[in-house]
């Protein structure tokens, strides 16, 4: 796995062994960032269920003003911290890594322009929609079979399926 565009294009990402994370594939990341376009440039971004940090680092590489990663799994955090250190070494912005449960973090009420979320597949993606994410744009990855019921406060603007992955892009209703 590598970053696919921007400042750190080609930077390899450290991925933990086993099934701790399910890093977003290059193809899916390219589709997400093509859909978001210039909305990422200069934006405050949060990467929820960050895992390796692939989504947030891709946003930072493409010009995000700030990136906050939220992750609680120890193995994922080790990979994330290595990837962040390499990104900064290459001249990228210094992201913030928050070691906390995503739902507890969201109760803080912090607002972002773009929220990227790749939660564990299953009901977690649906729970996320009701969790009070404060963002102008919310991108949620879920399993193809996990159909999200979308309603207030969110409105679906785009949805696509890539292999086993469903990507839903939402904005406030």
- Is residue 36 over pLDDT 80? yes
Domain assignment present for residue 88? The answer is yes
Q: What is the pLDDT of residue 17?
A: 78
Local confidence band at 20 (pLDDT 50, 70, 90 cut-offs): low
Task: Record the pTM.
Answer: 0.95
Domain assignment present for residue 6? The answer is no
Q: Furthest-apart CA pair in the chain: how many Å? A: 42
Domain assignment present for residue 11? The answer is no
CA gap 96, 16 in Å, rounded? 20
Summary mean pLDDT of the chain: 94
pLDDT digits (tens, 9 = 90+) for 116-145: 999 988 889 999 999 999 999 999 999 999
Percentage of residues in the chain with pLDDT exceeding 70? Answer: 98
**Strands 66-71 vs 44-48: parallel, antiparallel or unpaired:** parallel
CA gap 126, 107 in Å, rounded? 17
Over residues 26-50, mean pLDDT: 96
Domain assignment present for residue 4? The answer is no
CATH code, 84: 3.40.50.150
Q: What is the pLDDT of residue 83?
A: 97
* Helical segments of 21-163, H only: 26-36, 54-61, 74-89, 102-106, 124-129
What is the total count of domains within the chain?
1
pLDDT digits (tens, 9 = 90+) for 73-112: 999 999 999 999 999 999 999 999 999 999 999 999 999 9
Residue 44: give the domain boundaries: 26-172
Over residues 55-71, mean pLDDT: 98
Q: What is the pLDDT of residue 19?
A: 62
């Amino acid at each position: 796995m590598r970053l696919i565009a921007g400042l750190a294009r080609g930077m390899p990402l450290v991925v933990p062994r086993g099934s701790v994370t399910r890093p977003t594939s290059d193809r899916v990341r390219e589709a997400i960032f093509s859909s978001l376009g210039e909305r990422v440039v200069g934006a405050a971004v949060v990467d929820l269920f960050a895992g390796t940090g692939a989504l947030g680092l891709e946003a930072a590489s493409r010009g995000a003003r700030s990136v906050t990663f939220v992750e609680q799994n120890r193995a994922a955090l080790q990979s994330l911290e290595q990837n962040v250190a390499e990104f900064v070494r290459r001249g990228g912005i210094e992201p913030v890594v928050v070691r906390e449960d995503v739902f507890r973090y969201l109760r803080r009420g912090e607002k972002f322009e773009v929220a990227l979320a790749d939660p564990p597949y299953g009901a977690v993606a649906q729970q996320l929609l009701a969790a009070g994410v404060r963002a102008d744009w919310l991108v949620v990855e879920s399993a193809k079979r996990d159909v999200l019921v979308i309603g207030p406060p969110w409105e679906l603007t785009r949805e696509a399926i890539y292999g086993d992955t469903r990507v839903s892009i939402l904005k406030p209703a």
